[in-house]
């Protein structure tokens, strides 16, 4: 029997979750939202033949839609994955002159880069209290509103959602 060329491209899209990765201390320290986000980021990888690791793009809004949560919650999940060594931001987000936005690109450390045979697997070296650096988006207006610094702000809330 020959190939079924009509249905070849209709294969399911899946990703592999490896048990030893999920049994690390870093995985157990992740929030449940970050654990749910990780496979969605891995879905962006096109496989070993067209290895695009290091150029995986998933915006916070897309992630929030996939997870069914608030974009701020999805953003914290991205930060959590970076802090524990599961992903590394390789390129920042940008907005072109034409108004086209590009989300940040990421490397999944579990997957090999196109230039190497194995992934870096930084999460293996993670220790409690010693998070990896997290690249955050820069503020749109670092000098304040219209060049004026904002004064008199009294109600500041931390990233974790706590009270001032």
The first and second tokens of residue 135, run together, are 């690249």
pTM beyond 0.95 = no
Q: Which domains does the chain have, with CATH numbers?
A: 15-125 (1.10.10.10)
* Cβ-contact 81, 58 below 8 angstroms: no
**Secondary structure of residue 150 in the 3-state scheme:** coil
Cα–Cα distance for residue pair 39/61, rounded to 1 Å: 16
* Cβ-contact 109, 81 below 8 angstroms: no
pLDDT score recorded for residue 28: 97
Eight-state DSSP code of residue 145: B
- Along the chain (164 residues), what's the average pLDDT of each consecutive run of 10 residues? 62 85 96 97 91 93 96 96 96 85 93 90 95 81 59 42 44
pLDDT score recorded for residue 157: 37
Cα–Cα distance for residue pair 128/106, rounded to 1 Å: 23
* Cβ-contact 66, 11 below 8 angstroms: no
């Amino acid at each position: 029997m020959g190939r079924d060329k009509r249905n070849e491209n209709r294969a399911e899209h899946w990703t592999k979750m490896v048990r030893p990765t999920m049994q690390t201390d870093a995985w157990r320290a992740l929030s449940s939202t970050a654990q749910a986000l990780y496979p969605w980021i891995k879905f962006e990888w096109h496989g070993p033949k067209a290895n695009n690791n290091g150029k995986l793009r998933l915006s916070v809004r897309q992630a929030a839609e996939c997870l069914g949560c608030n974009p701020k919650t999805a953003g914290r999940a991205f930060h959590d994955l970076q802090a524990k060594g599961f992903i590394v931001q390789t390129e920042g987000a940008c907005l072109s002159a034409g108004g086209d936005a590009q989300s940040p690109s990421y490397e999944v450390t579990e997957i090999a880069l196109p230039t190497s045979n194995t992934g870096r697997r930084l999460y293996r070296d993670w220790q409690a209290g010693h998070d990896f650096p997290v690249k955050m988006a820069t503020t749109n207006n670092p000098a304040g509103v219209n060049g004026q610094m904002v004064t008199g702000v009294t109600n500041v809330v931390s990233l974790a959602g706590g009270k001032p």
